[in-house]
Amino acid sequence: MTTFGIDAECGRLIEYDTAAELRELCKSGELDGALPLGGGSNILFTGACRDLTVIHCRNTAFSIRETDNCGIVEVSAAAGCVLDTLCEQTAAAGLWGLENLSGIPGEIGGAVVQNVGAYGAELGDVVARVNCLNVKTNEFVTLTGEECRYGYRDSVFKHHPAKEQLIVTEAVLTLRRDGVPNLSYSGLKERIGRMSGLNLSPTVMRGEVMAMRNGKLPDPKKTGSAGSFFKNPVVSLEFHAEIEKRYGDRVPGHKVTDSDGLERIKLSAAWLIDKSGCKQFSAGGASLWPLQPLVIVNTEGAATGADVINLEKQIIATVRTRFGVELVPEVIHI
Ligand code: EPU
């Protein structure tokens, strides 16, 4: 049930279809301490978890609803809906908003928690509401997009108390019929720029995004991974200048405005890993994907959680020594 393809065994697996069913499970005390799992694409089980109960939403349904607000469409998707299916189907329906997220593995429930992102877009940009069950009170609650407090691979759902209390059952997204392509990622803009006389549609954008992903990232069907293993570190302008001075050359990064309104620099973790000489590192069955060293892969399907952690530790220590930057994993460790 995870994209890493690493063996792990939980004590119990509960799969449910409806929010009402989830509430019944909650009432009977079966969800105490349970771990909600989506597509398992951003998670690492580090060892045996025989005391753990894992719950998973089997409901893959989604629906599209026109609104009175011209051009705006609401898409409701159950937690178990596969994100890429939603990207494909909404693009095919001529709706803008999810096309840049094409090819990201996982299901909607996990995606709204993690605020998945790629090629200049984040899911949080289009989240209108998220419906959840509060397992402490056994009540249904709805959070607005703003209340989800989206940040870079971050949301309210990753922090206490929501982390322990809320299980996402459904997300409502705002997509547009009259949208425009998001070309803020320079690599995507260059690709599109080379295609002359083309009528850009969400489906055409999706095709370009998929082609970019396939060129750099491992095929999830062939090689196990959890996508980017580390977050791209965000540092102050002063610290960026300091590491450039010490390195004696440009250290790539781009300006971001943090939630506190301050300008900072988001560094490329892949570049830091590469320039620290970690690309060839391996530990047991775990290694780095040669074309994108931010991705730890289960090289031949035989890696263990301990192998991945060994490799992670080696990389963190080496990048710290070389650049004084502390890499933080994006992948959740259980
Ligand atoms: N690079 C090297 N050496 C290499 C390969 C790449 O130095 O061998 C450097 C290059 O400087 C290049 C950069 O790495 O510019 C790669 O940047 P890119 O924009 O392709 O990807 P990223 O910043 O490494 C982030 C996300 C990805 C997302 C891509 C595209 C994070 C942690 N990762 O990666 O998300 O698909 O941008 O938008 O933010 C994920 O979260 O699982 C994920 C795959």
What are residue 284's phi and psi, to 5 degrees?
A: 55, -120
State yes or no: pLDDT of 51 exceeds 90: yes
Q: Which of 189, 271, 331 to mutate to test the pocket of ligand 1 (most atoms within 8 A of CB)?
A: 271
When the pLDDT of each residue in the chain is averaged and rounded to a whole number, the result is 96
- Ligand 1 atom 28: residue of nearest CA: 118
pTM of the model: 0.96
Q: Whole-angstrom Cα distance, residue 210 to residue 214?
A: 6
> Ligand 1 centre and the CA of 30: distance in Å?
40
> Ligand 1 centre and the CA of 261: distance in Å?
24
User: Which domains are delineated in the chain?
Assistant: 10-57 (no CATH), 62-176 (3.30.465.10), 224-333 (3.90.78.10)
Q: Is 228 a catalytic residue?
A: yes
- Ligand 1 atom 25: residue of nearest CA: 118
- Ligand 1 atom 7: residue of nearest CA: 271
Q: Name the active-site residue from 41, 102, 225, 228.
A: 228
Q: What is the DSSP letter of 15?
A: E
Taking only the tens place, the pLDDT of each residue in 122-179 is 999 999 999 999 999 999 999 999 999 999 999 999 999 999 999 999 999 999 999 9
- Ligand 1 atom 24: residue of nearest CA: 270
Q: In the prediction, which pLDDT does 170 show?
A: 98
DSSP secondary structure letters along 59-82: ---EEEEE-SSTTEEEEEEETTSB
Segment 74-102 mean pLDDT: 98
State yes or no: pLDDT of 260 exceeds 90: no
Q: Is 330 a catalytic residue?
A: yes
Q: Whole-angstrom Cα distance, residue 104 to residue 213?
A: 9
Segment 277-283 mean pLDDT: 98
Look at the block and give the residue holding tokens 């609803």: 65
What are residue 229's phi and psi, to 5 degrees?
A: -85, -35
Q: Which residues have C-beta atoms less than 6 Å from ligand 1?
A: 118-119, 185, 216, 227-228, 231-232, 252, 268, 270-271, 274, 292-294, 330
Strands 166-176 and 282-283: unpaired
